[in-house]
Amino acid sequence: MENQNQSFGPLNSSEMISEKKPASHNVRMVFITVVVLLIALGGYMILSNQDLKVQFQRVLKLVPTTPQENTEFNDIDLFVSEIQDRTIPWIEARTDTEAVLVGEDVRVTLYGFSKGKDIVGYDVLVGIDPEAFEVVSVTSDISEYIIKDFDKGMFYSVTGIKNPQVNDPTVFDETALLTFVLKAKQKGENVVTILSSKGNEQTKFVDNDVKVQTPQIGSVFITVN
C-alpha cells in the first residue's frame, strides 16, 4: 500500500517544466527583438537609399516599370571610329555630304573590303540616332544581293544574302554594299556608326566556305544646320 501512494515522479517532472518556462520565454523574446531590429534596420537602409527605395517599390509594383527600362537597345553610344588597317576586312559608312539642313535628305553608303574572299552573306548593325534622322529607305547597291532590314530603335540590323543562282564570285574591294537615305530632323553634330555587336547580333561577312569574317568598322560624321 505504501508503494501505491508514492507518486513523486510526475510531481517532480511538472515542477521541472514550470521552472524551465521562464528561460525558454526569455530566449523567444530575445529572438523576436533581434528580428524586429533587423527589419527596422533594413527598412531604414531602403528608405535612406533612393536607388534601393525605387527598386523595392518596383518589386512591390508601387512604381510602374517603363518600356524604355526593359529595352536593351535604347542605350547605345554612337561613337566615331576609323579603319586602322585597310589590308584586312573592313566596312565603313560614307556620305555624299558632311553638312545638311533640317528637312533635307542625306545619303549614307556602306563600303566593304573582304580581302579577296567571295562573300555570300553579311550582317551589319548601323547606329542611327532616331532623334536626329528619319530613315527614309535602305537599298542594296549589289544587284545580286537580297537584303532585309530591321529597325531596332537606336540602330538598324541589315542582312544581305547573295542570290544562290549567281555563280560569279562577289569579292568586296571597297565595294558599295548598302545605301541609307536619311532625312535630317534637328540641328546638331551627329555620327552614323557601324556597331561591332549588340546583344546576340554582330556585324560580319560570310564567305563561300561558310567562314565568318569580323570586319573593322568605320563611321561618318554629319552636321545638321
The predicted-structure confidence for 66-78, as pLDDT tens digits, reads as follows 333 334 444 456 6
Q: Are 56 and 46 in contact (CB under 8 A)?
A: yes
Helix (H/G/I), strand (E/B), else coil: 197: strand
Q: What is the mean pLDDT of residues 15-43?
A: 61
pLDDT grade for 27, boundaries at 50, 70 and 90:
low
The predicted-structure confidence for 123-158, as pLDDT tens digits, reads as follows 999 999 999 999 999 999 999 999 999 999 999 999
Strand ranges in 14-140 using DSSP code E only, listed in sequence order: 90-95, 99-100, 105-127, 133-140
Q: Is the pLDDT at 214 greater than 80, yes or no? A: yes
Orientation of helix 8-48 relative to helix 50-59, angle to 10°: 120
Q: Give the strand pairing for 90-95 and 216-218.
A: parallel
Q: Are 158 and 178 in contact (CB under 8 A)?
A: yes
d(CA 195, CA 81): 10
Residues with Cβ within 8 Å of residue 14, at least 6 apart in sequence: none
Please state, rounded to an integer, the average pLDDT across all residues of the chain.
80
pLDDT grade for 4, boundaries at 50, 70 and 90:
low
Domains of the chain (ranges, CATH numbers)? 2-59 (no CATH), 90-224 (2.60.40.680)
